[in-house]
């Protein structure tokens, strides 16, 4: 099945823009490209308040950006972690996405600028993201949020981080999480399933790119089996928050996310998994450019609203 017409046009534009696969650009080149792509996003929707802040982290201050759709207080909150292979990506790169999710789900969104590899290897990003979760739970009132209704979410590496801190929150008796929004999450290290082989040279993210990103993020081979890096290696997934797992058909790590969703189900975790056909990795953040992106954002907002409507956790 071919790509959707709008996805095909975008893939061709990306091919023309990219001098080569991401891994061939080097870290600085890949970061510059990500910034260039972010600048081409449509204007984001207006919100009641967008605020830049810093919060304490394990190795210094962590920049965050807080999005509030209205002056109401005690709104539910989504903690969002951007993608980019733990190596590239910024708060600006998911600005339009976070504004859109805040508006559609009528929730506060806290976007986290965690430390990036290779300057800060694993587990730096996980530690920052978990610290942000604890901060939101302890300071929700400061940002107009309800500590009893917290969701976590992210795309690609951000999906990986969302899954990882959900496991940590369970194991450390940390903040309760209402939903894991896992968008084509990288849940394990380079398992050669069908999607890995069939879409090894897909648009925007190739199998070689995936290995390149892992190489920058992990310290050594032993990290590949650490559940904080690869959540699928957790001995048990029982007792984790409900999850909405989104995957893209033309994505080398598609089957990783779908396998993780199946493991969650087998552990008794409520899961909704949806594969979006005829699009490639990265589509979720391409707000205003692809029809499937609009569909996925509507789906994500609906799942967030469902999760936030469940009986409240103790704040």
Q: What is the pLDDT of residue 19?
A: 80
Span 141-158, pLDDT tens digits:
999 999 999 999 999 999
82, 199, 216, 281: the active-site residue:
281
Contact at 8 Å (CB) between 185 and 144? Answer: no
- Which pLDDT belongs to residue 314? 45
Contact at 8 Å (CB) between 218 and 87? no
Average pLDDT over residues 177-204: 96
- pLDDT above 90: residue 313: no
pLDDT for the residue 272: 98
Range 287-294 average pLDDT = 95
φ, ψ of residue 43 in degrees (nearest 5): -60, 135
Is residue 36 pLDDT above 90, yes or no? no
Instruction: State residue 315's pLDDT score.
Output: 40
Which member of 113, 251, 255, 256 is catalytic?
251
Tell me the average pLDDT across 170-185: 98
Domains in the chain with CATH codes: 5-308 (3.40.50.1820)
At 243, the pLDDT band (50, 70, 90 cuts) reads: very high
Among the options 41, 102, 111, 156, which is catalytic? Answer: 156
Write down the pLDDT at residue 241.
Answer: 98
| Structure confidence at residue 86 (pLDDT) | 98
**Residue 306 scores a pLDDT above 90:** yes
**What pLDDT, on the 0 to 100 scale, is given for residue 83?**
98
* Cα 230 from Cα 18, distance rounded (Å): 29
Q: Which of 41-55, 257-271, 279-293 has the lowest mean pLDDT?
A: 41-55
Q: How confident is the model at residue 221 (pLDDT cuts 50, 70, 90)?
A: very high
Write a three-state SS string for the chain: CCCCHHHHHHHHHHHHHCCCCHHHHHHHHHHHHHHHHHHCCCCCCCCCEEEEEEEEECCEEEEEEEEECCCCCCEEEEEEECCCCCCCCCCHHHHHHHHHHHHHHCCEEEEECCCCCCCCCCCHHHHHHHHHHHHHHHHHHHHCEEEEEEEEEEECHHHHHHHHHHHHHHHCCCCCCCEEEEECCCCCCCCCCHHHHHCCCCCCCCHHHHHHHHHHHCCCHHHHHCCCCCHHHCCCCCCCCCEEEEEEEECCCHHHHHHHHHHHHHCCCCEEEEEEEEEECCHHHCCCCCHHHHHHHHHHHHHHHHHHCCCCCCC
For residue range 105-114, list pLDDT tens digits in order: 999 999 999 9
Q: Are 207 and 200 in contact (CB under 8 A)?
A: yes
- Segment 268-292 shows an average pLDDT of 97
Q: What percent of the chain has pLDDT over 70?
A: 99
Asked if 156 is an active-site residue, the reply is yes
Number of residues in the chain: 315
Question: Alpha-carbon distance 275 to 104, whole Å?
Answer: 21
15 noted as active-site residue = no
Lowest mean pLDDT among 15-24, 55-64, 228-237, 238-247: 15-24
Q: Is 220 a catalytic residue?
A: no
**Average pLDDT, whole number, for the chain?**
95
Residue 244: pLDDT over 90: yes
Q: What is the pLDDT of residue 250?
A: 98
| Mean pLDDT (whole number) for 246-252 | 98
Beta bridge partners of 81: 112, 154
């Amino acid at each position: 099945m071919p790509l959707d017409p709008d996805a095909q046009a975008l893939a061709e534009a990306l091919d023309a823009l990219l001098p080569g696969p991401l891994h061939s650009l080097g870290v600085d080149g890949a970061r510059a490209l990500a910034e260039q792509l972010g600048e081409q996003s449509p204007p984001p929707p207006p919100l009641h308040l967008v605020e830049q802040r810093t919060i304490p982290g394990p190795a210094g201050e962590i920049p965050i950006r807080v999005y509030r759709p209205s002056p109401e207080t005690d709104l539910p909150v989504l903690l969002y972690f951007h993608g980019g292979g733990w190596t590239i990506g910024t708060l600006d790169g998911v600005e339009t996405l976070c504004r859109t999710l805040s508006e559609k789900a009528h929730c506060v969104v806290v976007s986290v600028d965690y430390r990036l590899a290779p300057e800060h290897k694993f587990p730096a990003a996980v530690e920052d993201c978990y610290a942000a979760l604890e901060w939101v739970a302890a300071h929700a009132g400061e940002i107009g949020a309800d500590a009893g209704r917290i969701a976590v979410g992210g795309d690609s590496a951000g999906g990986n981080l969302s899954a990882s801190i959900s496991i940590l929150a369970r194991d450390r008796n940390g903040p309760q999480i209402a939903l894991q929004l896992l968008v084509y999450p990288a849940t394990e290290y380079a398992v050669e399933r069908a999607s890995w082989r069939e879409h090894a040279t897909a648009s925007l993210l190739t199998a070689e790119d995936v290995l390149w990103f892992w190489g920058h993020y992990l310290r050594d081979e032993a990290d590949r089996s650490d559940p904080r890096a690869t959540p699928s290696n957790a001995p048990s997934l029982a007792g984790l928050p409900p999850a909405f797992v989104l995957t893209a058909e033309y994505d080398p790590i598609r089957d990783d996310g779908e396998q993780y969703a199946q493991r969650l189900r087998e552990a008794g975790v409520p899961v909704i998994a949806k594969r979006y056909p005829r699009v490639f990795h990265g589509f979720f953040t391409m707000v205003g450019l692809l029809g499937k992106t609009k569909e996925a954002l509507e789906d994500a907002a609906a799942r967030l609203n469902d999760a936030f409507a469940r009986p409240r956790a103790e704040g």
